[in-house]
Structures are given as C-alpha cells and as structure tokens.
Amino acid sequence: MTDLPPTLSDGPLPGATDQPLPSTSLLLANRRICVSAFIGISLVAMGIASLCSWLDHGKAVPDGRIFLIVWSAGLASGAVVLFLIQRAFLVPMARWTDAVERRDYTTAQVELGNLARHTPRRLERLLSVWGELARRSHEYQEIIDTTRKDLTDTADKFEAELSARTAELIDANEALQQKIVEHELAENQLRYDIFHDRLTALPNRSLFSDRLNHAIQRTQRRGEPGFAVLLFNIDRFKDVNDSLGLKAGDQLLVLVSQRIREALRPGDTLARLGGDDFGILIENVSDSDDATACARRVLALLEEPIEIEGRDVFCSGSIGIADSRVDYSRAESLLQDATCALETAKAKSRPNYVFFEPAMRSADIPRLEIETDLRRAVKSGDEFVLFYQPIMALNVHKVAGFEALIRWQHPTRGLVGPFDFISIAEDTGLIIQIGRWVLKEACAQLRRWRDEGVIDKKMFMSVNVSSRQLTDESLIDDVAHCLSAYDLDPSCIKLEVTESLLMEDPKAAVKILDELKTLQVQLSIDDFGTGYSSLSYLHKFPFDYLKIDQSFVFQMTQDVEIREIVRTIITLAHGLNMDVIAEGVEDAETAKGLLRLGCHLVQGYHYSRPIEAAKIIDFLAEIDKS
C-alpha cells in the first residue's frame, strides 16, 4: 500500500478498510435503487396525503380532474427532490467513489472534503426546498380544495338545473301527449259527426250509401246472398211538429228509431236519411220474404202508442222496398227506386209496404207534374168542383144529408178523383187551402139549396177535415166564418175526422175537438175500425156520429165474424150516445142487415154515387116517388 498524501496523514481515509472497495457498477446500482425508492416513496407519500385530504372532505373517490392535478403535483415534487438529492449527495459521492476506484486518493480526499464541507449547506438548501415544496403542497391543497368546492358547487348547480329542465321536459311531454289525445278525440268525433246523425246517433245518408255500395260490390264480385233496402217514412210527421212543437217531433224521431232497431237483426243497418225518412239495409237475403218479414215487424212495433211529454202519440208509416234482384251498380240508383216504391206505398192506405216495380219509374214524373198543376189550380181556384153523395135514413127512407166530396176538373186530364191528388196535397201542405175551399163551397151550396127550397132545414152537410186542417189554428175561425156568412144552423154542419188521425195524439185531438164543439157543429169519427182504435180515449172525444168503414160493410153479409164486429161497433156507439152511419152499402141485403142491427143512416152506390149539385134535385124527386 502506497503512502498517503500529507493532507490525509491526520487520519485514515474514510471508507478505507481492509475490505475491498465496491465496484462502480454496484454503486451505480445502489444509486438507481435509491433513486427509484425515493421516487416511489415520494409518490406514495403524496398519494396518501392527498387521499387523506379527500377522505377528510367526504370524497371516498376523487373525480378525474382532481386526481390528475394531485398526481402531477406529486410527480413534480419527487422530481425536484430527486434532483436536489442527486446534486447534493449522489454526484459528489460518485466522484469520490470514482477516485477511490482509480486509487487516486488525492482526488478522493478533495472530493471527500467537498462532500463534508458542502453537505450541511446542501442539506440546509435541501430542507429549504423541502419546506418550499411543503408550502407549495399546502397551496396546491388549497387550490385543490377550492377547485373541488367549485366543481362540487358547479355539479350541484348543474344537477339542479338538469333536474329542473328534466321536469320541464316531462311536463312538456305530458302536455304534448294530452294535446295528441285531444286531437285524436276531436278527429274521431269529427269523423263520427260527418257520418252520423246527431239527433238519433244513427248512420247518415253518406255512411248508408257507402255501406250499400259495398253490399252491391260484394254481391257482384263474390256471388254472395242478396240484400234489400227498406225506406221508411213516418206518416203525417209534420202534424206532430205543428201540433206539439219541434222538440216533440225530435223526441218522436228518436223513439221511432229505437222501435225500428228492435225489429232488425244484429247485422242490419239502420240510418236516418233526413227529415222523417229512415233507411234499412238487410243483407244475406235469400228472397223477398226476408224483406217482407222485416217490413211487417217494423210496422207492427209502431202500432203501440208512443208517449211524448205525457201524451200517447200513435205513429204509422209507409215503407218502400228495393232489393238486389235488380242489377244495380250504384247505391243512388237503388235508393231512387226505393223512393218510388215508398211514394206508391204512401198513396195507398196506410200503413203499408210496397216492393219496387220498374213501372213505378214512369209514374214518378206524372206526380211532379200533378204537384205543379195542383199548385196552379189552388192559386186560380176555379178547377175544383164538389160532388155530393146522399146519406139515407133507412127507417124513413129519406135523404138525411149529403157528404161533400172534392173532384179536380183538370184542363187536360179531365175529372181527377181525390185518390190521385189528395196525398200530394197533404205532403205539400196545399190541403189547408183546398180544405178551406171545400168547407166554404159546401156551406154555400147548402144555403143555395135551402133558399131554392130543394131541401128542408133538417138536412145536414158533411165535410171531411184533414189532419193538417185539424192542427191548423185557422180552422175554428174558418168554420165560424162560414156559419155566419151563410146563416146556417151549426147543427146542419157535420165535420168528419178519420180515426187514425185522432190516435196520433189523442190528448191534443180532444182539446181541438172541444173547441170545435163550442161552435155547436156536429162531429163525426170517420173510417172507424181501420185505425189504431183506443177505446180508453173514445169516450173522451165529443163525437155525435160514428161512421163504420166500408171494408166491414162490404163483407158483413158473407162473413159472420165481420157481422158480429159491425154489431159490436153499433152497440158501442149507441152506448156512447152516438148515431151510426155505415158507408159502402152496395145492395139491399146489406141495408136490411144494418137496419136490423140498429144502424139507420147509410150511404153507398146502392142509393147513389157522388153526383153534381145540379143533379141533386132529380135525385130527391126520385126518392120521393119511391
């Protein structure tokens, strides 16, 4: 071993021992280990400190941004500390280690001196830097706390705003859903209103035509069973409106629709086509018997009275039928034919149903022409004439009175009977003016005959009163005016009202008849036995006469049961203090039979057809001779 330099003679060289000195690679490895360990310890320490700080603030798991800030701060602090340690200890120690390995003890002594001399100062600087790092770490912690608080406040504010916006969106969505529902309901209601009648809730004409077109197409395409359409019209519906009011008329429409529905099968269609017209579509029809059965069920259900505002109203109707036996291609064509059948049914005795026949199409045009000509005749007032049919008293074989019967002297058609135009007059309302003319002319003729001495004062004049007239407010004044103008005894005027008319609204009829009775005229119930007789009301009517319908009189000599019905009617009338008139007497046998049953007043072709006024004198002369 060489001698030591003089500077080191005062003591042994630090680290110089009998053991071999460590190699440079080992020292370098130790240095790396120290550096790595220090870095790890620094980072772990910073992490634990930050974690403790978060746990103290109630944050079990930091959010990403805070964790990134803490990790960056720990990494920077470890790097600074590593740099200072390396500069203060490791670099000088490495130089000393290199000098010893090279056995350059002079350099080693210098480096060791530098290490010893500078170590306190470097340690002081290291502590100062460490303190500065601690202070910076505290500032960072404050920044972190402030940032965390700001982020927490921001998050809470955002969460509150998000909740508010979410609630607004939920409310807006609910409101939108409600609007959608309301729109769908309004759309459905609009669609329903377009195709349904508001009063009866039945399908209207548009929906009925659509279903009818589908039925026509199915029948043509698939060869399915046929179908039939029944058009139903309420007889004298306007009288209900005029006498009871529009509200009562609406109630009648609703109740009639319910009655008709009861007569139909589940798959049949009932529609209100307008006014008092109803349409019935029945499918899977094998023959006309199905339509006939349906029509009979409808008419039968309407025989029972309908109560409206405490009053029993009797309602009848007419039905026109058209079916798929005719090859139709459009619903409108079929409805036109059904309408022709309905008009034919209304022209006959009511209630009634009629199947369409092709000949009815040509009859529809004359009806329009008759209506036009009838209006002209009413306006001119010189085309109508009265014929008179004598009413005979069987017990004395004398004329008791006359029934005035209207005829129309048409300019081109000749003499037209009432059957061909009275129904049109009823439908158009012209019957009011025609009836007023008949009353006036009959009273005037009675006055003329009396003035001429043709008849005695006991003979009476019968005048028929239509349903329209009975509900017309001017009827009372018209009768009173004629009695006064022609100076007639009221007992010589007999007003005849049909039974079916009375049964439409018995209570209202009683009131009107009582008013007429105040004029002291005679009242007669006409065509008794053909309408919907209501014996509970019969005794309330102030009638003086009861006229047996000719349909009973025709058959009484051949049918024992009919004869007993006639006997019962006569007995009933006498029990109610009414005189009886039998119409339709065609032979002497019938007249004798009626006389035996207690009926003294008769009229019919056996005695005389309706004749003109000018021929009455000759007829009376013949009666006197016989």
Contact 295, 230 (CB under 8 A): yes
What per-residue confidence (pLDDT) applies to 229? 94
User: Integer distance in angstroms from the first to the last C-alpha of the chain?
Assistant: 198
Contact 522, 545 (CB under 8 A): yes
Alpha helices in 198-330 (DSSP H): 205-222, 237-244, 246-262, 288-301
Counting Cα atoms < 13 Å in the Cβ hemisphere of 22 gives 13
Kindly state the tokens that stand for 109: 């002594």
Contact 129, 34 (CB under 8 A): no
Cα of 511 vs its chain's centroid, Å: 38
Omega prior to 358 cis, within 30 of 0: no
What CA dihedral angle connects 467, 468, 470 and 476, to 10 degrees? -160
Which SS3 state, helix, strand or coil, does residue 488 take?
coil
Could you tell me the CA-to-CA distances from 119 to 114, 124, 126, 318 in Å, in that order?
8, 8, 10, 132
Indicate the burial class of 353 (C-beta count within 10 angstroms; 0-12, 13-18, 19 or more).
Answer: buried
Angle at 609 between CA 485 and CA 586, to 5 degrees: 130
Range 28-34 contact pairs with CB under 8 angstroms and sequence separation of 24 or more: 31/90, 31/94, 34/90
d(CA 478, CA 521): 13
Question: What is the pTM assigned to this prediction?
Answer: 0.50
DSSP 421-477: THHHHHHHTTHHHHHHHHHHHHHHHHHHHHHHTSS-TT-EEEEE--HHHHT-TTHHH
Sign of CA dihedral 577, 582, 587, 589: negative
Closest CA to 115 of 128, 137, 98: 98
Residues 6+ apart with CB under 8 A from 231: 273, 277, 278, 279, 280, 319, 320, 321, 335, 338, 339, 341, 342
Identity of the residue numbered 5: P
18: DSSP letter: S
10-residue averages of pLDDT along the chain (626 residues): 39 40 45 53 53 48 54 60 60 73 73 65 60 70 82 86 90 90 82 83 90 86 81 85 82 92 90 92 86 90 85 86 82 87 78 81 68 91 93 92 94 84 85 94 95 90 89 90 95 87 73 91 83 62 90 84 89 92 92 93 92 92 84
DSSP β-bridge partners for residue 581: 547, 601
d(CA 601, CA 524): 13
Reported residue count of the chain is 626
Cα of 96 vs its chain's centroid, Å: 110
d(CA 291, CA 321): 8
Closest CA to 497 of 537, 457, 446, 459: 537
Burial 423-457 (b: 16+ CB within 10 A, else e): bbbbbeebbbebbbebbbbbbebbbebbeeeebee
Closest CA to 552 of 532, 531, 527: 527
Which SS3 state, helix, strand or coil, does residue 269 take?
strand
DSSP 89-120: IIHHHHHHHHHHHTT-HHHHHHHHHHHHHHHH
d(CA 118, CA 113): 8
What per-residue confidence (pLDDT) applies to 404? 96
What per-residue confidence (pLDDT) applies to 625? 82
Closest CA to 478 of 491, 465, 459, 489: 465
d(CA 449, CA 261): 56
d(CA 349, CA 551): 12
d(CA 228, CA 287): 9
Residue 149: CB atoms within 10 Å: 11
Contact 606, 390 (CB under 8 A): no
* Domains present along the chain, CATH in parentheses: 6-175 (no CATH), 205-357 (3.30.70.270), 367-625 (3.20.20.450)
Contact 356, 322 (CB under 8 A): yes
d(CA 585, CA 556): 10
What per-residue confidence (pLDDT) applies to 350? 64
d(CA 406, CA 417): 8
d(CA 545, CA 403): 13
Question: What are the percentages of helix, strand and coil residues in the chain, rounded to 5?
Answer: 60, 15, 25
Contact 318, 285 (CB under 8 A): no
What per-residue confidence (pLDDT) applies to 486? 94
Q: Dmax of the chain from CA atoms? A: 202
d(CA 425, CA 435): 10
